[in-house]
Structure 1
Amino acid sequence: MLSIYTSYSCFRCRKEFVVLSQDLENMQGYLACPYCGNRNVKKQNIADSLKECMSERSYKRKNGAIVQK
């Protein structure tokens, strides 16, 4: 089965973004960060659900401190 979402992170601004696999095929190889426009992005993981894709780096507040899940 073809995965629906692909997660990327930017090397310059260190922000993460998600791209639909169908849109990625239509881009013809040109992929840039939507925040800063940098073309140096790293592919993180492929997932069938957006929740699974974005839960890799989630944080919660525990006793006043922010802790990674």
Structure 2
Amino acid sequence: MGKNAEVVKKSLPYPESTVCRVADGKMVTRYNFFVLEVCKAWIDPARRNPHTIHHLGRGAFAVDGETIRLPSKMK
């Protein structure tokens, strides 16, 4: 989370949510790559043992070390 991120009240029906801004758009046109900065974040304090998820690209995600593969439209 960015150093200027602040905790906010729940705004979406998920146990965690973030509000981001595009921090650098220089690579969007050429690489379809966005550099985002988290501006605000929220996590349900009642949730025990929250998990993290990371997008690895091309339909692959890692959830606390376990890789999940989903259909991808990437070519």
TM-score range, shorter chain: under 0.3
Where is the strand percentage greater, Structure 1 or Structure 2? Answer: 2
Where is the helix percentage greater, Structure 1 or Structure 2? Answer: 1
User: Greater CA radius of gyration, 1 or 2?
Assistant: 2
Query: TM-score by structure 2 length?
Result: 0.23
